[in-house]
């Protein structure tokens, strides 16, 4: 059930913190909600919006200057066109990087709202995931032989390191005839040749017999369209002879 105004978030969030022993008041020094624990004086500042947007994020960063723990709160709409389509996992990671918490509120027609804390203030970023993604980025960068894509392009087929390797495999077969994956590997330095010809992602290759592969017309056409990539690779690496 989608809400009409962000003020509808206030009551369930207030109840949430009151159940945890906090005293809660609204609109203090431009903060939507302030919760202070009477025993520890732990302070929580909550900024609310119907959906997560840049304005909310900037408000959260501004509230960090007041001290205390900052939490951003948004509605989680279960309808197809609602805020459930926002990438909450990525948004939570963004909040972690800033030291900010993120909570969602889901409203129902016949039961109480559901509050979910996606990340607490001060939660560390998921560094293991970041390291894995960074490693993939570095590998992709290093394995591309040149800059064949225009930055900012959308709706266009991109040249990836995997596609470059498939082009080199196709080149080896075109130049030397039916080949085994091991022979292609020697010619191209493509270590995952076997996987490329077996998976045949681009539908360029054909299995002649066990351990021997040829090139389909689609593969020949792809080579004609990307001859500059083969030439750039040959100039940079040097083509090996069988």
Q: Tell me, yes or no, if the pTM score tops 0.75.
A: no
Cα distance between residue 194 and residue 140, in whole Å: 19
Confidence at residue 239, expressed as pLDDT on a 0 to 100 scale: 44
Cα distance between residue 22 and residue 38, in whole Å: 7
Confidence at residue 240, expressed as pLDDT on a 0 to 100 scale: 47
Q: Is the pLDDT of residue 238 over 70?
A: no
The DSSP call for residue 166 is H
- Domains of the chain as residue ranges with CATH: 6-127 (3.40.1350), 161-237 (1.10.10.10)
pLDDT, tens digit, 9 for 90 and up, residues 126-146: 876 778 888 899 999 998 888
Cα distance between residue 188 and residue 190, in whole Å: 5
Average pLDDT, the chain: 89
The DSSP call for residue 123 is P
Confidence at residue 92, expressed as pLDDT on a 0 to 100 scale: 94
- The residues pairing with 43 across neighbouring beta strands, listed in sequence order, are 36
Two tokens, residue 50? 């119907």
Long-range pairs of 226-233 with CB within 8 A, sequence gap ≥ 24:
226/159, 226/167, 229/145, 229/146, 229/148, 229/159, 229/164, 229/167, 230/167, 230/168, 230/171, 232/145, 232/146, 233/145, 233/164, 233/168
pLDDT, tens digit, 9 for 90 and up, residues 6-36: 899 999 999 999 999 999 999 999 999 999 9
Cα distance between residue 225 and residue 89, in whole Å: 39
Confidence at residue 184, expressed as pLDDT on a 0 to 100 scale: 95
The more confidently predicted of residues 150 and 171 is: 171
Q: Is residue 56 a contact partner of residue 83, using CB atoms and an 8 Å limit? A: no
Confidence at residue 1, expressed as pLDDT on a 0 to 100 scale: 61
Percent of the chain residues topping a pLDDT of 90 = 69
Percent of the chain residues topping a pLDDT of 70 = 93
Q: Is the pLDDT of residue 242 over 50?
A: no
Q: What is the mean pLDDT of residues 226-242?
A: 73
pLDDT, tens digit, 9 for 90 and up, residues 43-98: 999 999 999 999 999 999 999 999 889 999 999 887 655 554 578 989 999 999 99
Confidence at residue 230, expressed as pLDDT on a 0 to 100 scale: 86
Cα distance between residue 69 and residue 99, in whole Å: 8
Confidence at residue 119, expressed as pLDDT on a 0 to 100 scale: 96
The counts of H helices and E strands in the chain are 9, 8
């Amino acid at each position: 059930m989608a809400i009409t105004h962000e003020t509808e978030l206030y009551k369930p969030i207030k109840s949430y913190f009151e159940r945890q022993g906090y005293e809660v008041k609204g609109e203090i020094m431009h903060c939507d909600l302030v919760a202070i624990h009477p025993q520890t004086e732990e302070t929580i500042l909550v900024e609310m919006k119907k959906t997560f947007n840049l304005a909310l994020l900037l408000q959260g960063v501004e509230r960090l200057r007041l001290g205390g723990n900052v939490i951003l709160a948004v509605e989680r709409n279960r309808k197809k066109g609602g805020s459930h389509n926002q990438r909450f996992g990525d948004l939570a990671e963004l909040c972690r990087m800033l030291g900010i918490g993120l909570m969602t509120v889901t409203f129902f027609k016949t039961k109480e709202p559901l509050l979910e804390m996606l990340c607490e203030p001060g939660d560390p970023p998921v560094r293991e995931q970041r390291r894995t993604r960074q490693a993939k980025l570095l590998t992709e960068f290093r394995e591309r032989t040149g800059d064949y894509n225009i930055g900012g392009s959308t709706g266009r087929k991109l040249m990836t390191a995997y596609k470059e390797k498939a082009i080199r495999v196709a080149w080896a077969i075109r130049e030397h005839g039916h080949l085994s994956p091991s022979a292609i590997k020697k010619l191209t330095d493509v270590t995952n040749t076997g996987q490329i010809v077996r998976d045949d992602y681009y539908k360029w290759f054909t299995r002649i017999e066990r351990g021997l592969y040829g090139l389909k017309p689609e593969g020949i056409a792809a080579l004609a369209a990307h001859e500059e990539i083969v030439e750039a690779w040959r100039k940079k690496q040097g083509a090996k002879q069988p």
